Structure 1
Amino acid sequence: MGLQRVAIPWTEKYRPRRVSEVVGNGEAVQAFLEWVRSWSSGRPAKKAALLHGPPGTGKTSLVIAFAEENGYDLVQLNASDRRSAEDIENLLGQAVRAASVFGRRRIVLIDEVDGLSTVADAGGVRAIASLIDRTEVPIVLVANDPWDPSLQELRSRCEMIGFRRLRAKEVLSRLEEICRREGVSVDREVLESIAERSRGDMRAAINDLQLVATSGSDPRRVLESIPNRVIELNAFELLGRIFGAHRFSDGRGTLANTDLDVDTVFTWVLDNLDQQIRDPQALHEAYKVLADADLHLRRATRLQRWELMKYGTILLSAGPGVIKATVAEKGGRFEFPARIRFMQQTKDVRTLADSILTKVNKRLHMSRAKAAVHFLPYLRLMLKAGDRGIARHFRLTEEEIGYLVSRAPELRVQPAEGRESAEERARPQAKARRAGTASGRLTVRSRA
C-alpha cells in the first residue's frame, strides 16, 4: 500500500513569505521595519521590540517573513514551552551574540511571552530581560496580551508595537486569493460568513476555509457545526469598546468578554476619561456617571445584592462612550493607568516592606501598623549603627537590611498631627524642628 499524502495545513502553506504579503496593520508593520533598520544605523533606542495584539493578526508571521526575505538567521523559542531561566539561557544565551558562524545576520524571536505570567515564571521573565540587556542582535517578543503586571520588566525594555484585529474585508480578500490558488470554488456568501465569524483572526479563518473546502459536505452545514468564537478583550480593546459606545445597549456583555475584574476596568476608564472627553460640561457629566456606577458596584458588594451589579456595569461599560458621542469628540490615545503603573514599579519595595513587617509582627506580637510607626524607626537606627544581632533576631535578609537602612522612610506610616513618631523622639534636634513648626502654625491660627 502506498504512502498516503499528508495535507499541509493551509495556515502554513499560505503563511507570508515576504513582508508585503502580511495582511493589514500597515502602521505596525512600518514601525517594526523602522525599528529593525535602526540596528543597521547604530545602537537602537530599544534593543527589543514587543509585538502585541489579538491572535491571528500576523505578528509572528511578520518576523518570519522579514527574516526569510532579508537573509537573517532566525532563532525561535516559544516561551510558554520553555519557561525556566535555565532553559531560556541555555537556548538563547549564545544566540544573542553578534553573528552566526557564517557571518549571517541573526534575529531572535521569542513567541507567547504572555505565557510567562505566573509567579513561578518570574525567573523566565528575568532571564529574557537579561538577554535584552546584553544582546548584540535584534530580539522580538510576541504576545497577545502583554499588560500583565509580571511582564512590566519586559515592557520597559521594549519598543511596543500594537496590532489590531483584522477587518472582515481584509480577511475576505485573503480567503478569495487562497481559493484561487487551490483551485476550489466556495460561494462568496460562505466566504463572507467565515470572515465575519473569524473576528479578525486570519489563522482561524484559514482553518475554517480548509475545513469547509475539503470536507466534501455542504459548506453551510459544516460552517454551522463550528462553534462561534468568543473574543477575549485586552484592556486597550476594552477601552475602545467602552468609549466607542453610542447607546447604552452597546455596553451589554462588554465586561463579560474580558478577564479583567470590574475594579481594574474602573481604574482604566477613570484614568483615561480626561483624554477622551475634553469638553468641560461633558467631562463633568461623565464623572457623575462613573460616580453613580461606583455607588451601585459598592452597594452590591457591601449588601451582597449581586442583582445590583448590572446597574453599575452598564453605566461603566457604556456611559462614558454615550457622553463622548454627544459632543462628537475624537479623543486621544489610551494610556496605561498611573496608579497601576506605580503599583507595578513599587511591587518589589512593597514586597520587602511586607516581609519585614511580618517578621516583626511574629517576634513582637504587635500589629503591623503599630510596628511601622513605633518600632521600625528604632530598628533602622540600630541597623545603621551596625547592630547585626538585632538583624539575626528578626532573621532579616541582606536585602531587607539594605532597604531599612536606605529606604525605610517609605515604609513608615505617617503619624497623626500632634503625635511624634518614635524616630523623632529619639532625635532631639528633629523634635526641636517639629516644635518650631508647630509654634509657627499656632501663631498663624491665633486670634488677636
Structure 2
Amino acid sequence: MFVSKYAPLTLSEFVGNKEAVATARRWLGYWPKIGKVLLLLGPAGLGKTTLATLLAKEVGYEFFEVNASDTRNKDTIIHQVAPATLEQGLFGSRRLVLIDEVDGMAGNEDRGGLQSLVDVIQKTKQPLILTGNDIKSDKIYLIEKKCKKDCTKLVLNLPTKEEIKERLKLICEKESISANDGVLSRIVEIARFDIRNSINIIEQVGFGKNSINDNDLNLLKGKDVFLKENDILFRVLKSKKLSIALDAMSANKSNFYPTDLIYCFEENLPYIYKNANDLAEGYLWLAEADKYASRIKKQNWFYLTNVAQCLASISTAKTQPINITPEEKFRHPQIGLMIWRGKQQQAEKDNFCKMWAPKLHISWNKMKINYPIYLAMICNNT
C-alpha cells in the first residue's frame, strides 16, 4: 500500500504543520524545562503518532507506545504505563513514551484511570507524549487543568493543498505515473485535504496506469470516496441493497484494518437487528468475514475484497426495516475490555491454584487442568 510505502522516514519528510514540528523538536530538546508532557491534538489522520515516532528516531530514544483506549483503569495504568515512564530504556538510553488517544478512555470503565494518568504525568522521568482527536474532550481539559505547569499543548491542522501536492508529485514520480497540477489539486479536494486519503486515491485510480487525468477522477464524482466508521455502519445496517453496502465498504475513510470493522459490527448487531433470524444470518456473514480476515494475516491482502463483500452482505440479512438515523451513535467495540477481563480472571485462577495446590499435595499444573473439580470440592468442604 502506498500509505505505508511512502510514510515519512524523517521529520523533514513530515507533511504540513512545520511550526508544530519545530515546537515538538524544541520541547524534546529542552525536556523537561518546558514541560514533562507534550499534548498533541487534532483530527485523526494528521500523523500525530507518526510525529512522535519520528521525534524518538531523530534523537535516538527508545520508543514505547501505549493506547489509552485499551488502558482503561487504575491498575493497568499503574502496572503498565507508570513503569515505562519511570525506567530508562535499554543500555541506559532515554525513552520517549507515547500514550495514544487519551480522549478514548471510556466512561465508567476508567475506575480512577484518568487520575492515575495525571499522577503518571506529574511523576514521569521520561519524555511523555499524549495524543487526542477531540480537542474539546473533558479528559483533555482535565489533564490540562491538573497538569498545567507540566504540559506543552500543540494542535495540528490540516496540511495546505500545496504541501499535499508536493508529496503526491513525489509519489507519482517514483511510481512513473503522470498527473498534472490540476489533477493533483482535484485529488486533494476530493480527499478533503487528508494526506492519507489523497495517497489512497493515487493508488486506487492510478493502478495499472502510467497517467491520471480528469476523466479518471470523474468516475469518483457523486461517490463518497471515504467514509468514517459511523457512516459505514449506518449505511450497511440501514440499507437492504447490497450495492449501497458495497459502496460504503469501499469508502473506508480511516483505513480500518478488517478486524476493526468486524468488531464494530459484532458489537452493534444485537442492538440493531431485533429479529432473531436476521441476527443469526448477520452473524453468519460476520463469521465468513472473520474467516477471510484471518487468511489475510496468514497469506495475503487478496482476501480483503472477500472481507468487504461478507460485511456488506450483512445488509441483506434483514427482513424488516431498521429504524436508525445517520446521527445514530453506535457502540464502540469492547474487545479490549473483554481481553483485559479475561486476563484478570486467568490471573485470579492462577493465584488460586498456586495457593491450594500445595495444600492438596498436587502439582500446580494438575490443579489448573482440573480447576473446576477441585474448586467444587473446596467449596463443598468449607
For normalisation by structure 1, the TM-score amounts to 0.45
Work out which of the residue numbers 17, 33, 43 in structure 2 matches 1:25. Answer: 17
Question: Within 1, Cα distance between the matches of 2:123 and 2:38?
Answer: 15
Residue 14 of structure 1: aligned partner: 6
Q: Match for residue 178 of structure 1?
A: 171
Q: Are the equivalent residues in 2 in contact too, given 1:126–1:153 (CA < 8 A)?
A: no
Change (3 A) 1:47 1:153: same
Cα RMSD (Å):
2.5
Structure showing greater radius of gyration is 1
Q: Hey, what's the Cα distance between the residues in 2 that align with 1:153 and 1:100?
A: 29
Q: Give the direction of change, closer, same or farther, for the CA distance of 1:105–1:220 in structure 2 (3 Å limit).
A: same
Does the 8 A contact of 1:54 with 1:201 survive in 2?
no
* Alignment check: 8 A CA contact 1:165 1:199 kept: no
Give the SS at the match of 1:55. coil
Letter in 1 for 2:75: E
Task: Give the letter for the 1:203 counterpart.
Answer: R
Tell me the equivalent position of 1:129. 118
Cα offset, 1:117, TM superposition: 5.1
Q: Which moved more, 1:131-140 or 1:177-186?
A: 177-186
- 1:122, 1:229 → 2: CA distance? 36
Map of 1:12-411 to 2, 5 A cutoff?
12-39=4-31, 43-116=32-105, 118-121=107-110, 123-156=112-145, 157=147, 158-214=151-207, 219-224=216-221, 226-227=223-224
**Paired-residue identity, %:** 34
Unaligned runs of at least 5 residues, structure 2: 229-382
- Residues 218-277 of structure 1, C-alpha deviations (whole Å, 9 max, x = no match): 73255337515689xxxxxxxxxxxxxxxxxxxxxxxxxxxxxxxxxxxxxxxxxxxxxx
Cα separation, partners in 2 of 1:133 and 1:115, compared to 1, 3 Å: same
Q: Which string of whole-angstrom CA distances, capped at 9 and with x for unpartnered residues, describes residues 129-171 of structure 1?
A: 1211111001001112132223323223221111111111211
1:174 to partner: Cα distance: 0.9
Change (3 A) 1:14 1:84: farther
* Cα pair 2:53 2:63 within 8 Å, conserved: yes
Counterpart-to-counterpart distance in 1, 2:194 and 2:106: 23
Matched residue pairs, number?
220
User: Could you state the TM-score of these two structures normalised by the residue count of structure 2?
Assistant: 0.52
SS at match of 1:214: coil
Distance 1:143 1:102 in 2: 31
- Partner amino acid for 1:58? G
Q: Contact 1:19–1:62 (CA<8 Å) still a contact in 2?
A: yes
Q: Tell me the distance in 1 between the aligned counterparts of 2:33 and 2:111.
A: 26
How far, CA to CA, are the matches of 2:179 and 2:141 in structure 1? 46
Instruction: Give 1:51 shift.
Output: 0.7
Q: Which has the higher contact order (CA 8 A, sep 6+)?
A: 2
